[in-house]
Amino acid sequence: MSAGHVIIAPDKFKGSLGAPEVARHIGAGLRRARPDVALLELPVADGGDGTVDAAVAAGFDRVRVRVTGPAGEPVTASYAVRGDVAVVELAEASGLRSLPGGRLEPLTATSRGTGELVGDAVRRGARRVVLGLGGSACTDGGTGMAAALGVRLLDADGRELPPGGAALRDLDRIEAEGDWPPGVTVVVASDVDSPLLGPDGAAHVFGPQKGAGPVEVDALEEGLSRLDAVVRRDLGVEAAERAGAGAAGGAGFGAMVFLSATVEPGITYLLDLLGFAEHLAGARLVITGEGALDRQTLRGKAPAGVARAAAGAGVPVLAVAGRNTLSAEELRDAGFRDAYALIDIEPDPARCMEQAGPLLERLAERIGAEWLDEVVR
């Protein structure tokens, strides 16, 4: 990429546009304002929904596989691969978006399909698996994923447990058939640092998002507690208190225990995987964003990670969003020069969602007029 280029590195606008679409619309608006400026569209993700799409946009190949969906029915899911690296996104196989008819199944939803994706990637030659966690429909502690990879979770009568987090209350013992293949490493990419259990854990914090009421949350907490106890006894692993164990309904815990995974901040790791630092060389401006810029953005979401990386290279960063509730001081402290929101040019939130693409192009034209002469020479 020539010196003076602009990097367009947004996350998705949830409910409206995927990250690659956001990048394309921003690029279209900038080109209308300054057709002479070189642009690099590099959509990003933080491990949640859209992680595979971001990897594919960066040059990975997409592999589609028929796997078990969160409610037990078959679904078509995909992962991304380049060389011996595979990017697997839990939301692809075990996410809320894969529930038939959107019907929530908080007690019985399973992560089995995610394990099937991981297994397929390893059989095809992957030696490093990046597991993005987010958008999960299940709170099963990653046991469905583990079962797909040969782990047996048994009740007191020696029967395999049915799927879902509630069934873990009857867990009596764990049998692991063989070891994880030597030389294969798993890295969990997640922006969630919650433990497995307790008021900040998987069941209490994220269970309600998956349809669990108070009674269901208690059942899931009991199941995850039993899982932790049996893992400690049978496998000698203590992982429930580790940061990220509660991610994706406890799938972080399952990955640590059954796949010996390490946990990395999602956006930091994925930026490295996508070669973001190399693309910053010679760049004059970075534009990032997501659907909502708010306090959650500052807690490790994709735009904050992009801003931090760009600031380290001395490249100014702008943010675009559907709405922005951060103050000018908060934006500056996070590394943003300025922020542009769709709601500023279209006050109707419904129209912002429906017309996000054209509105992004209008914002990008404004950015081109206000910034490109200043930063691109």
Which helix (H) or strand (E) element contains residue 224?
helix 214-235
What single-letter DSSP state applies at residue 177?
A: -
Same domain for 207 and 331? no
The answer to whether position 277 is within a domain reads: no
The pLDDT tens digits of the residues spanning 160-192 come to: 999 999 999 999 999 987 667 788 999 999 888
What single-letter DSSP state applies at residue 351?
A: H
The answer to whether position 302 is within a domain reads: yes
The answer to whether position 68 is within a domain reads: yes
Which helix (H) or strand (E) element contains residue 339?
strand 338-341
Percent pLDDT > 90 in the chain is 83
Contact assessment for residue 10 and residue 39, using Cβ atoms and an 8 Å cutoff: no
CB-side neighbour CA atoms (13 Å) of 17: 28
How far apart are alpha carbons 16 and 10 in whole angstroms?
13
Is residue 349 left, alpha or beta, with left meaning phi > 0 and alpha meaning psi from -120 to 50? alpha
The single-letter code of the amino acid at 360 is: L
pLDDT at 376 over 70: no
Which helix (H) or strand (E) element contains residue 311?
helix 302-312
pLDDT of 175? 93
pLDDT of 126? 97
The pLDDT tens digits of the residues spanning 231-244 come to: 999 999 999 999 99
pLDDT at 300 over 90: no
How far apart are alpha carbons 319 and 27 in whole angstroms?
14
Same domain for 214 and 353? no
pLDDT of 298? 86
Angle CA 2–332–192, to nearest 5? 90
Same domain for 32 and 60? no
Same domain for 152 and 78? yes
What CATH number is attached to the domain comprising 36? Answer: 3.40.50.10350
Of 218, 236, 267, which closes a domain? 267
The answer to whether position 275 is within a domain reads: no
SS3 99: coil
Contact assessment for residue 112 and residue 163, using Cβ atoms and an 8 Å cutoff: yes
- The distance of Cα 55 from the centroid of its chain, to the nearest Å, equals 12
The pLDDT tens digits of the residues spanning 111-128 come to: 999 999 999 999 999 999
Q: Which of 131, 110, 115, 113 is nearest to 48 (CA)?
A: 131
Residue 129 CB partners (closer than 8 Å, separation 6+): 85, 86, 87, 88, 118, 121, 122, 184, 185, 186, 187, 259
The answer to whether position 87 is within a domain reads: yes
Tokens of residue 262, six digits: 């390490």
pLDDT of 193? 86
**Packing angle, helices 302-312 and 266-273, rounded to 10:** 60
How far apart are alpha carbons 140 and 171 in whole angstroms?
12
Angle CA 271–112–223, to nearest 5? 100
Mean pLDDT of the chain: 93
Domain, as residue range, for 313: 6-43+282-375
pLDDT of 3? 58
SS3 262: strand
The answer to whether position 276 is within a domain reads: no
Q: Which tops the pLDDT comparison, 113 or 1?
A: 113
pLDDT of 2? 54
Is residue 175 left, alpha or beta, with left meaning phi > 0 and alpha meaning psi from -120 to 50? beta
Same domain for 65 and 88? yes
The alpha-carbon radius of gyration of the chain (Å, integer) is 21
Same domain for 171 and 257? yes
The answer to whether position 329 is within a domain reads: yes
- The distance of Cα 336 from the centroid of its chain, to the nearest Å, equals 22
The answer to whether position 272 is within a domain reads: no
This prediction's pTM: 0.88
Same domain for 31 and 141? no
Same domain for 103 and 236? yes
Same domain for 190 and 326? no
Of 233, 267, 301, which closes a domain? 267
pLDDT of 373? 74
Q: For the chain, what is the domain count? A: 2
Tokens of residue 363, six digits: 């914002």
Of 239, 267, 295, which closes a domain? 267
The single-letter code of the amino acid at 169 is: R
The pLDDT tens digits of the residues spanning 201-234 come to: 999 999 999 999 999 999 999 999 999 999 999 9
Contact assessment for residue 127 and residue 121, using Cβ atoms and an 8 Å cutoff: no
Same domain for 201 and 306? no
Lowest model confidence (mean pLDDT) among 47-61, 143-157, 335-349: 47-61
Q: Which tops the pLDDT comparison, 142 or 270?
A: 142
The pLDDT tens digits of the residues spanning 89-109 come to: 999 999 998 998 889 999 999
What CATH number is attached to the domain comprising 199? Answer: 3.90.1510.10
Q: How confident is the model at residue 377 (pLDDT cuts 50, 70, 90)?
A: low
Length of the chain equals 377
Q: Which of 41, 18, 9, 29 is nearest to 361 (CA)?
A: 29
Same domain for 37 and 68? no
Same domain for 217 and 78? yes
Is residue 198 left, alpha or beta, with left meaning phi > 0 and alpha meaning psi from -120 to 50? left
Q: Which of 243, 290, 287, 281 is nearest to 263 (CA)?
A: 243
